[in-house]
Chains A and B, each alone.
Chain A
Amino acid sequence: MPDDFRKITPDADHGFSIAAPPRRFGTGGQSAARRDGLAKVTGAARYTADVSPAKALHGVIVSARIARGRVAAMNVAAAMAHPGVVEVMTPQNRPPLAQHPDEKRHPFNFRHEALQDDRVRYAGQAIAMVLGDSLEAATEGARLLAPVYEAEVPRIGFDAAEPWTPQMVGFFAPATHEIGNIAKGLADADVVSEITMDTPAQFHNAMEPHAIVAEWVQEDGRARLLLDTPNQGPVMTAGLLAGYLGIAAEDVVLRTPFIGGGFGSKLMIYGAMVLTALAARAQGRAVKTVLTRAQMYGPVGHRAGTRQKLTLGVARDGRLTALSHDVQALTSSFEDFVEPAGRASQHLYAAPNLAMSHIGLRGDIGTPLAMRAPGEASGSAALEVAMDVAADAVGLDPLEFRLRNYAEVDPSTGQAFSSKALRECYAQGAAAFGWAGRPLAARSMRDRRGRLLGWGMGTAQYLCTMYRGEARVILRGDGSAVAEVAGVDMGQGAWTILAQTAAEGLGISPEKVLLRSGSSVLPDGSVAGGSGHTATAGTALSEAGKDVVKQLTALALNDPKSPLFGAGNSGVLAVEGRLLRADNPAVGEAYVDIMARAGLRDLTGTGVGERAAENAEKYAMFSHGAVFAEVAIDPDLGQILVTRMVGAFAAGRILNPRMVQSQLEGGMIWGLSFALHEEAVFDPTSGKVLNDDLAGYHIPVHADIPAIQTMTVEEIDPFVNALGVKGVGEVGITGSVGAIANAIRHATGYTPTKFPIRIEDLPL
């Protein structure tokens, strides 16, 4: 096997490294091809389920098939009697944990089920674990357990769930907000339009099922857990898991070089993870547990179902006088996550009277959590439809109506935007789509085949999250560098972009940077979520690179043998592996020479990525965009096809256009999926998700996805972070759902009251 195609394996210190690919396998430069692309097209990429330690046991989780009640009995003897079954773990014999699974020491200690008792609180929770010498044996052992339940009537759906008023929604966001006076704003309006919108429970359904391979090893005289698992916050999760296991955080080594899609679902602690680690310790053997697809419909989060009411007051001139967004969101009986859908309307349109509220509805379902664009996806879906209804009420084109309500400052805080090129997005997107001349009236366009055509648009907006991340960059004596961060690549391109940011800070070509990442032993780059990973880990790497440059500069400026000696006042530039006098770039010296003279084999710099507090206080920071969609609908049969989509986005500085395009397209496809396909259906009898598979839970196939055009409007944003980058992973969903819904509304005259939009909803 040629070197280039070799499997990606961990080094002795549990890190993973990927260099820039040879040129024949991908372009370099700013729009560099994915560093991990070669591994992915050859099968050499190492996902957790691909890891098979010698003599590993296979773990199979047994999932509850009821949603409320208790497990009365299980036929452990039958399971143990099956050839190849090694152990059955139940609440009776589960080894002790140092932290109860329901104890919350940290906000991300999600309450979960690790066989603490016989209660069932949602369908799909773990109620036992079977270990076997083969997957086939363990799987059959799990079936033979044949649990007997004492079932209670589950609380499923909006009507059965129990209302509760949360203080916080999402992750630490306020549940309510009001500026001005909604009642007064509505009284001042010439037209009041109100819509209600139901959105269904949706499941992340990353293509890679959750998987855990746990192996305890003796290192430095103590037991360490090597944990392979796809995870969006490796350092945080390692620390949290250590708490349950009663060991030091650094004794959990979490390895996650490749993640087969996360979308928020791989941020969680869940029963199978804790149980697999416990089982491996108890058995003295490695244990590998891979969730089935069906097991991903419960314990690993989902996007909560919501019922939203939007009330818009509009003056005859098309200006909003009031906007109120009231949300009910389903949640579990034992955790407090409430989908922050109301947030979507609080920072976008210039309504002088603006409010949101949230009610949680507790039922017997797994805990909902963040799913790609949490809050904004569902909230924007409802908001953008409401905007079109309001535009109609005053006889305005949807784009014109949005422009009349363009927010020059954040309408909910009065803060200035750190940057906001939304106007340019509207203009460029509309031009590319050919929006001008769109007839106002519904049902007024047909294509040559007689299909109803509709054009719709929506505004995209997503907040610019930033955490605190750390990174390290080591410059080698040969001029190459190793950049180290516990980064997370779940498809967004971190392997590529993070190397680029390190190279930029260090002032060398990205091809010379080897990125070491994908493991909790490396500096904490923080979580990959909220579209904040590149901003956080990327800034940290860039700063670490600059730290190296700073040290090189000090060496050179103080070294009489350096041509830069004494150049302190004029400053230096770091360019292509050389320090240059800022006032005379012809004078400079290569890094390698500075190091050689100083007798240094390598030089290490560290960096922190976090937002400057004064900027965070002063500015509202968002990515924006404008999405335009066309649908064609069979006038008799109601089948809907999205025929084209155009998205124009402003997301700060575009680090790697190739990766950004892919993220934006992916987001827009998620919007299409939200609008037309995704919906989990709960069985009222058992409380189980009925369509807990990929045949029943539809995500779009190739045939559903049209030509998509994306474009970016670059923004110079000195405030958002040192790199000037905003997130692109989630903004593409927002706006897109509404654009498609509004296109359907334009084609048929039907105002959606729920998602997904179905054939039977259309007035045909």
Chain B
Amino acid sequence: MKAFQYLNPKTLPEALAAMALPGSVAYGGGTNLLDLMKTGAATPDGLVDLTGVQALQSITLDDAGNLRIGAAVRNATLARAPLLRAHAPMVAEALLSGASAQIRNMATVAGNVLQETRCPYFANPDAACARRDGGQGCDARVHAGREHAVIGWSEACRAVHPSDMCVPLVALDAKVELSGPEGVRLVALSDFLTLPEETPNRRNLLGSGEIITALVIPAAATALAGQSRYLKVRERTSFAFALVSAAAAVQIAGGKVIRARLALGGIAPKPWRVPEAEEAMVGRAATPETYRMAAEIALQGAAPSGDNGFKIELAKRTVARAFEWAAADVPGLGRDLPASVFDTIPEA
């Protein structure tokens, strides 16, 4: 591992000053960045440890009812927070389905957003990877596997954003609060994470010297809290990334959908949300056919990037199942078990 300077600011201004040093990178739990430093895929000159900044530690509801989550809040802390469970339980469900209990105790929410793809070529500095170094090469062009994208990918990059947490956050219109030399700005999470297209190494809209200071889940999410689920499909039942996952929320009145939210994970370079799929559901009967229709729209344009075409149909089925469960859900239910197929199929 390359030698680096370690800085541990206590206040936000100190943090921003530290970030202004050349080669500085924000550091949270280290569960992804330190790992990449060990493989040689990341070689920062300085780590700015944000976990000691008090201002980044809180989970609060503002007067307008938006839930504000400090950047340095640990994944496990957030997953257990009563405020989150009331406001957006499927985010808690997604968090608990990710990684291991140990990792969740360490990883911060900002780090979760900024975590890198687990495409094996990314972590291997000897492999060609445009996403890592901005070059033209991509060894996944020759060999893309089950873990690679089936939608939103480009010839430059077939990688998948690995987060579970971000999938329901994108579905719920969450925003990222960024602080930097130019001040504070709010960006929709779905815009903040970018598609590879021409510049695959620009993986998000983080500006130079900027840090994430908070995630904000809008007040409107609470209306969907009672009918929302995160469902994650993977072969190893725990401690594995999603093959496909879906965050689905649906508000139903008189048997008809009045509002729906949907995002998918495991299939695209960022959490995949198609507003047209949600809109098409409105006014239709809350039935499996409607959910399948939404899934078809959401996956329009999907194409295998390698030996992974099966994920397209699997994703559609996962969407349909997630909506079925969301529709059948009990408002306010907190879930301690992760979003596994096995633990959550309602008994017939």
Nearest-CB distance from B91 to chain A (Å)?
21
The answer to whether A451 has its CB under 8 Å from any CB of chain B is: yes
Q: Are B342 and A641 in contact (CB under 8 A)?
A: yes
User: Given A449-B348, A686-B126, A686-B139, A637 and B321 touching (CB < 8 A)?
Assistant: yes
Q: Which residues of A contact B3 (CB under 8 A)?
A: 140
Contact call A759/B243, Cβ cutoff below 8 A: yes
> A701 contacts B236, CB within 8 Å?
yes
Chain B positions within 8 Å of A632 at CB level? 342
Closest to B125 in A: A143
Q: Is the CB of B142 within 8 A of A685?
A: yes
- Chain A residues lying within 8 Å of B239, measured Cβ to Cβ, are 701, 703
Tally the A-B contacts, defined by beta carbons under 8 Å: 97
Find out whether the CB atom of A690 lies under 8 angstroms from the CB atom of B314: no
The contact of B345 among A139, A450, A701, A703, by CB within 8 Å, is A450
Question: How far, in Å, is A748 (CB) from chain B's closest CB?
Answer: 15
CB nearest to B241 among chain A residues = A695
The yes or no answer to B310 lying at the interface (CB within 8 A) is: yes
Point out the residue from A136, A449, A638 that lies within 8 Å of B346, measured CB to CB: A449
Please tell me which one of the listed residues B1, B142, B320, B345 contacts residue A634 in the complex, with CB atoms under 8 A apart. B345
B342: A residues at CB distance < 8 A: 632, 634, 639, 641
Q: Which residues of A contact B233 (CB under 8 A)?
A: 637, 639, 759
Minimum C-beta distance from A708 to chain B (A)? 16
Q: Does residue B44 face the partner (Cβ distance < 8 Å to A)?
A: no
* Residues 435-467 of chain A, each 1 if its beta carbon lies under 8 Å from chain B, else 0: 000000000000011110000000000000000
Q: Would you call A703 and B318 a contact (CB within 8 A)?
A: no
How far does the alpha carbon of A695 sit from the alpha carbon of B146 in the complex, in Å?
A: 14
CB <8 Å contact, B1 and A143 = yes
- Do A698 and B236 contact each other (CB < 8 Å), given the known contacts A140-B2, A140-B3, A448-B347? yes
Assembly CA distance A448 to B342 (angstroms): 12
Which residue in B1, B40, B143, B348 is a CB contact (below 8 Å) of A684? B143
CA distance A547 to B143 in the complex (A): 63
Do B347 and A449 have beta carbons less than 8 Å apart?
yes
Residues of chain A with a CB closer than 8 A to B346's CB: 449
| Residues A684 and B142 in contact, CB atoms below 8 Å apart | yes
Residues of A within 8 A of B243 (CB): 759
Q: Is the interface of A mostly helix, strand, loop or mixed?
A: loop
CB-contact partner of B240 in A448, A698, A702, under 8 A: A698
**Known interface pairs A448-B348, A449-B347, A759-B314; A700-B236 also in contact (CB < 8 Å):** yes
Complex Cα spacing A289 to B142, Å: 35
Contacts of A756 in B (CB 8 A): 235
Contact, CB under 8 Å: B341 / A758: no
A640→B345 CA distance, assembly (Å): 14
B238 touches A637 (CB 8 A): no
Give complex CA distance A10, B172 in Å: 61
Residues 553-585 of chain A: 1 if any B CB is under 8 Å from the residue's CB, otherwise 0?
A: 000000000000000000000000000000000
- Return the CB mask of B62-102 against A: 1 if under 8 Å, else 0: 00000000000000000000000000000000000000000
A759 and B1 contact, Cβ closer than 8 Å, known pairs A65-B126, A449-B348, A686-B126 = no
* Neighbour of A450 across the interface among B143, B237, B240, B348, CB < 8 A: B348
**Residue B145 is within 8 A (CB to CB) of chain A in the complex:** yes
Q: Which of B111-136 contact A (CB under 8 A)?
A: 118, 120-121, 124, 126-127
Contacts of A676 in B (CB 8 A): 235
Does A683 make an interface contact (CB < 8 A)?
yes
The answer, among A139, A686, A702, for a CB contact under 8 Å with B238, is A702
**What does the 1/0 interface line of A667-699 toward B look like (CB < 8 Å)?**
000000000110001011110101100011010
Q: How far, in whole Å, are A637 and B241 apart by their CA atoms in the complex? A: 16
Question: Which residue of chain A lies nearest to B127 when distances are taken between CB atoms in the complex?
Answer: A686
- The answer to whether B1 and A636 touch across the interface, beta carbons within 8 angstroms, is no
- Scan A602-646; emit 1 where CB is below 8 A from any B CB, else 0: 000000000000000000000000000000101011111100000
Judged by a CB distance under 8 angstroms, whether A704 is at the interface is: yes
How would residues 56 to 80 of chain A score, 1 for a CB under 8 Å from any chain B CB and 0 otherwise?
Answer: 0000000001000000000000000
| B317 interfacial contact with A, CB 8 Å | yes
Tell me the complex Cα distance, A158–B210, Å.
Answer: 50
Nearest neighbor of B310 in chain A, beta-carbon distance:
A760
In the complex, which residues of chain A have a beta carbon less than 8 angstroms from the beta carbon of B120?
A: 683, 690-691, 696
Task: Say whether A640 contacts B235, CB under 8 Å.
Answer: yes
Residue among A136, A143, A691 with max Cβ neighbours from chain B (10 Å): A143
A164 to B243, CA, bound (A): 38
Assess whether A637 is in contact with B341, with CB atoms less than 8 Å apart: yes
In the complex, what distance in Å separates the CA atom of A632 from the CA atom of B340? 14
A688 surroundings in chain B (CB, below 8 A)? 124
Binding site for A on B (CB under 8 A): 1-3, 40, 118, 120-121, 124, 126-127, 139, 142-143, 145-146, 233-241, 243, 310, 314, 317-318, 320-321, 340-342, 345-348
Q: A139-B1, A703-B340 are in contact. List 13 more A-B contacts (CB 8 A).
A: A143-B2, A637-B341, A683-B120, A685-B142, A686-B126, A691-B120, A695-B240, A696-B118, A701-B238, A701-B239, A703-B239, A759-B310, A760-B310
Chain A to chain B: the 4 pairs with minimum beta-carbon distance, closest first: A760-B310, A703-B238, A703-B237, A65-B126
Cβ contacts A to B, 10 pairs, < 8 Å: A448-B348, A636-B317, A636-B321, A638-B314, A683-B139, A695-B240, A703-B238, A756-B235, A758-B146, A759-B243
